Amino acid sequence: MDIQQPPIRVAVSGAAGRIAYSLAFRIAGGGMFGPHQPVSLRLLDIPEAAQPLRALELELRDCAQLLLNEVKSTTDPMEAFEGADWVLLLGGKPFSPEHRDRLELLRLNAPIMIQHGRAINQVAPTARVLVVTSPSNANCMVARSTAPGVPESHWFALSQVTRMRAMGVIAERMGVPVSEVRRLTVWGNNSESALIDLRSALIGERPALEAINDSEWVAQTLGPMIAGRNDEIYRLRGALPAGSIAQAILGTVRSIVTPTPYGRWFCAGVVSDGSYDVPRGLVFSFPLSTADGREWKIEPNNYLDEVARERIAANVAEIQHETTAVSDLLGSI
């Protein structure tokens, strides 16, 4: 195995949590950047979580992964983020039966995003940042507002969980491998309001809506089924999803750093450039592609009917409402 190239430095906040536990070993084993790319991991959490954080570091060392160049745990954001190429922000309160209100959760997590944004701005201004902490679009805007030195194209919010779930459900319904479901788009906020859009999607070589041939199921069943998945998993195992969110993080970063295959795209929340009438500066999930794994673009000319435009406008309003709720905490964007 040729592992002579320099390691990619990845910092993970909230690293003592369940999602990070599902994620860290897969990053160390090549699941994020491929089987020939070394990585260095910096694991961050609050002082109260120092013991499980240290335990994760020890387990990663015990795995003796050939691609893991270095691993270090810390409770200091400046130390964790220094020189990072990628920062994965998982730290904060998650959605749960006790914390279901998005605005309440945002008020709890925004101060963490402010602290982390400032640290990234000081010690890792060239890093690319994926915000997972809920609600991820608004939290991405909060963190970005305190990090003016980080290019706007380097900020991402997770929306791949919704997209993966929708692709999996559709593939199961149609009896096809999930690889046959292409160009499904998730527009907007990482919330129950997100628009799962099949208008440009394909199943094999057929238009998805034609192949499914059940407009009522698409309009009335698919969205609520995906929106209720967290609660369904919580009822079944008494804990919120972790493995699927870790997979969504891996898939998002891989999609950003890997040239997009012809005829496909991926989705993530990015800073809007005004495309599809989404206000500039809003972090919003779009269909994206990259030709070189460095620069991405919003896929243009997607057909949107009046219903889709109304749903997109509703997502814009929701994100604006959330960011207004913490406007007193925001820096200048």
Task: For residue 288, give both structure tokens.
Answer: 């994206």
Residue 240 has what pLDDT?
Answer: 87
What would the DSSP string read from start to end of 95-152?
Answer: PBTTB--HHHHHHHHHHHHHHHHHHHHHH-TT-EEEE-SSSHHHHHHHHHHT-TTS-G
User: Do residues 210 and 292 share a domain?
Assistant: yes
Q: Is 49 inside any structural domain?
A: yes
Structural domain boundaries, residue 99: 8-157
Domain with residue 237: its CATH number is 3.90.110.10
* Cross-strand bridge partners of residue 8: 39
Residue 98 has what pLDDT?
Answer: 64
Residue 10 has what pLDDT?
Answer: 98
Of 297, 179, 246, 260, nearest in space to 32 by CA? 246
Q: Is 62 inside any structural domain?
A: yes
Q: Is 296 inside any structural domain?
A: yes
Task: For residue 121, give both structure tokens.
Answer: 């701005």
Q: Is 265 inside any structural domain?
A: yes
User: Do residues 173 and 145 share a domain?
Assistant: no
Domain end (from 123, 157, 191): 157
User: Do residues 151 and 247 share a domain?
Assistant: no
SS3 of 281, please?
coil
User: Do residues 251 and 184 share a domain?
Assistant: yes
User: Do residues 213 and 77 share a domain?
Assistant: no
- Cβ proximity of 43 and 80 under 8 Å: yes
Residue 2 has what pLDDT?
Answer: 56
- Residue 235 CB-half CA count within 13 A: 5
Residue 4 has what pLDDT?
Answer: 72
User: Do residues 231 and 278 share a domain?
Assistant: yes
User: Do residues 165 and 305 share a domain?
Assistant: yes
Domain end (from 157, 192, 218): 157
User: Do residues 253 and 305 share a domain?
Assistant: yes
Domain end (from 107, 134, 157): 157
What pTM value is reported for the model?
0.96
User: Do residues 132 and 192 share a domain?
Assistant: no
- Chain-centroid distance, C-alpha 244: 11
pLDDT tens digits, residue range 58-100? 999 999 999 999 999 999 999 999 999 999 999 998 776 666 6
Task: For residue 35, give both structure tokens.
Answer: 């089987």
User: Do residues 149 and 102 share a domain?
Assistant: yes
Per-residue pLDDT of the chain (333 residues; tens, 9 = 90+): 556 799 999 999 999 999 999 999 999 999 999 999 999 999 999 999 999 999 999 999 999 999 999 999 999 999 999 999 999 999 998 776 666 688 889 999 999 999 999 999 999 999 999 999 999 999 999 999 999 999 999 999 999 999 999 999 999 999 999 999 999 999 999 999 999 999 999 999 999 999 999 999 999 999 999 999 988 998 999 888 999 999 999 999 999 999 999 999 999 999 999 999 999 999 999 999 999 999 999 999 999 999 999 999 999 999 999 999 888 776 544
Of 288, 278, 266, nearest in space to 318 by CA? 278
- Residue 264 CB-half CA count within 13 A: 16
> What domain count does the chain have?
2
User: Do residues 282 and 310 share a domain?
Assistant: yes
Residue 328 has what pLDDT?
Answer: 78
Q: Is 224 inside any structural domain?
A: yes
- Cβ proximity of 130 and 252 under 8 Å: yes
User: Do residues 50 and 92 share a domain?
Assistant: yes
